[in-house]
Amino acid sequence: PVAGVGGGAALSRVEKELKALEEQERRAGEQKKEELKKLAAIQQQIEEKKKRIEEEKKSRVGDSAALIQAEKELNALEGQERQVEEQKKLATIQQQIEEKKRRVEEERKQLEKIVGKPGQPIVQQANRYAIVVGIEQYRERIPKADFADRDAKAVAQFLAKQGGYREENVIVRLNEQATKSDMEKYFEAWLKNNVDANSSVFIYFSGHGAPKAETGEAYIVPYDGDPAFIEQTGYPLKRLYQTLDKLPTKNVVVMLDSCFSGTGGRSVLAKGARPMALTVEGLSNSGTKTVVLSATSGSHISLADQEKGHGLFTYYALQGLSGDADANGDGAIDVQELFEFLKPQVQRVARRVYNTEQVPQLIIPSSLVNQLPPRLIER
């Protein structure tokens, strides 16, 4: 099994490497600042020389030889000035590149902390399909859903590297790629055209949810969604569940790192609307075959953890899937095991760090209650 990361030598090593990387970046940043200061000083010297030459030109009117020499010096200085400007631009670009590299490396380290390094390879199964959606930035004036796209990328990477999914069977839609029409295309057409009776389907969404003001009906907010017109621009959870229920698949699991009450976190409201307490039942009419693992109950919020750089729910979900949730040690992790692992972890951090409640929910249709829970990982 893949070793989960939850402390010990591996976590300590990763944290030390990350701190060392941050120190290197800090020193590099200081060096760049010094270089820019030197370039600015050179530029100031050039400006002063240019002024002196201009004054000399005025004082030597009629002296053609002196004027020619002054023009040459002036042209040379202007050439130096252009070079300095190019060097400043290059230094700025290099600094931006280094900052981007640091962010990418930090994200890689975060992923390693969550899911560990690949261990025993999992045989890829052709009949597993997944749609992974993460929306952090929205087109409308909607607050960011912090780390939502990073959450989705981490989940997609896990599925392809350690979850037994073929890469071509994992659809990933991030930010502007996740419009309402994109959701309709992949939820309603792509799945229908690909799955069969032996398939299993996994849907993951990280981003904002919103309630319809009049009824409290839960909607996913697409990239181009608008909470003020949520019925026209949002994607109803009920519609998603109905679509999935019609598939010929043996099981469907939906994981939602979002909330739908309008009380904050990964939830938004139309201007002037009031938050509402949605019951779990009202939020989760998932049909007859879809199992839903939700980041929170209807009345609570879904938190993004700034220190971990991920949604709290997704962070512990991935840690659990990487091995920590395998309670009976059989090498497989089903949705019930995952829920029992992550629920207390999420509740504990939400209370201790954020002084609030976040209670993940597992929703199993009555038709599946007496059956074995769907397996998410098999080794």
Q: How far is CA 59 from the centre of its chain?
A: 65
The answer on pLDDT for 113 being more than 60 is no
Residues forming beta bridges with residue 254, ordered by sequence position = 203, 292
Q: How far is CA 312 from the centre of its chain?
A: 12
C-beta separation of 26 from 145 below 8 A: no
Q: Which residue has the tokens 């698949």?
A: 249
Q: What is the 3-state secondary structure (H, E, C) of 233-256?
A: HCEEHHHHHHHHHCCCCCEEEEEE
The answer on pLDDT for 256 being more than 80 is yes
Band of residue 269 on the pLDDT scale cut at 50, 70, 90 = very low
Spatial CB neighbours of 242, under 8 Å, sequence gap ≥ 6: 287
Pair type for strands 304-305 and 332-334: unpaired
The vertex-200 CA angle with 195 and 204, nearest 5°, equals 100
Band of residue 54 on the pLDDT scale cut at 50, 70, 90 = confident
The answer on pLDDT for 314 being more than 80 is yes
In whole angstroms, give the CA distance from residue 290 to residue 202.
10
375: amino acid identity, one letter: R
Band of residue 271 on the pLDDT scale cut at 50, 70, 90 = very low
Nearest to residue 253, comparing CAs of 327, 188, 202?
202
The model's pLDDT over 122-176, given as tens digits with 9 standing for 90+, comes to 667 889 999 999 999 999 788 888 899 999 999 999 999 889 999 999 999 999 9
What pLDDT is stored for residue 183 in this prediction?
Answer: 98
Band of residue 274 on the pLDDT scale cut at 50, 70, 90 = very low
The answer on pLDDT for 60 being more than 70 is no
